[in-house]
Amino acid sequence: MADRAPSFAELTLDEFSRQLASDEPVPGGGSASALAGSMAAALLAMVARLSLGREKYAQYASTNQRGLDVAERARVRLLQLADEDARAYAAFAAAMKLPKDNDSEKAARRSRMQAAAREASEVPLAIVRECAVLLEEIETLVGRSNTNAISDLEVGARLSAAAARGAAANVFINLPMVGDERYTGATSAELNGLLSQIERTVASVGQRVVGGGLREPEPA
């Protein structure tokens, strides 16, 4: 039985960066984006933990607990998506290598490529969705968490946005190869909406960080 390839989450940072820097096609930009998103989630989790159990932030306890729960789920899921992105691209690369010497082989190859391109669009789209949710939670915690770590929330927000933009680039480049105009249109519309939302949220985080201080608790 062949040894299982290690998950990217099982590698040291140096091992992952060396793989990323190699001439191998995976990991690539999608996996790197997912990893950046996971780091953003880790920062959100850190800030939430630095706020929970402290009297000064007691009125925000439910917000920080939810932020911690969202962050931990996203941190793990984004690491999983780093592996899924690599597998999706590997499947697409394998489909490209299929024979195309006659009409039957060409049709089979085209079908496999379209299916692989769809999967290679779905995975980075999932990364963008995760980052959008993560960003909303980060924005909610700014001014409702430990003010000594407010800059860490901004770093998390900007990492999330960069991760989403990077993953979105992979979606956009793969969509034309799916061969389904309805799917392509719906996915493009969703993606553009998510990216617009992300830009607004990052701007809001930046403004609140500059303003500093605490704000009202979330409505009950």
Q: Residue 49: enclosing H or E segment and its boundaries?
A: helix 29-51
The per-residue pLDDT for 86 is: 94
Q: In the predicted model, what is the mean pLDDT of residues 197-215?
A: 95
Q: What is the CATH number of the domain that holds 57?
A: 1.20.120.680
Token duo for residue 218: 């979330």
The Cα–Cα gap between 89 and 3 comes to: 21
Q: Is 12 part of a structural domain of the chain?
A: no
Query: Could you report the per-residue pLDDT of 77-87, keeping only the tens digit for each?
Result: 999 999 999 99
Query: Could you report the per-residue pLDDT of 89-117, keeping only the tens digit for each?
Result: 999 999 989 999 999 999 999 999 999 99
Report DSSP letters for 64-123, one per residue. HHHHHHHHHHHHHHHHHHHHHHHHHHHHHHHHHTS--SSHHHHHHHHHHHHHHHHHHHHH
Q: Is 7 part of a structural domain of the chain?
A: no
What confidence tier does 2 reach under pLDDT thresholds 50, 70, 90?
very low
| pLDDT, mean over the chain | 95
- Structural domain total, the chain: 1
The per-residue pLDDT for 1 is: 38
Query: Could you report the per-residue pLDDT of 113-141, keeping only the tens digit for each?
Result: 999 999 999 999 999 999 999 999 999 99
Q: What is the pTM of this model?
A: 0.94
End-to-end Cα, the chain, rounded Å: 55
Query: Could you report the per-residue pLDDT of 12-53, keeping only the tens digit for each?
Result: 999 999 999 999 888 999 999 999 999 999 999 999 999 999
Q: Which of 6-10, 14-18, 165-169 has the lowest mean pLDDT?
A: 6-10
* Residue 193, Cβ density class (10 Å: 0-12 exposed, 13-18 middle, ≥19 buried): exposed
Q: Is 14 part of a structural domain of the chain?
A: no
For residue 174, what are the domain limits? 27-210
Q: Is 1 part of a structural domain of the chain?
A: no
The per-residue pLDDT for 136 is: 97
Q: Is 101 part of a structural domain of the chain?
A: yes
The per-residue pLDDT for 170 is: 96
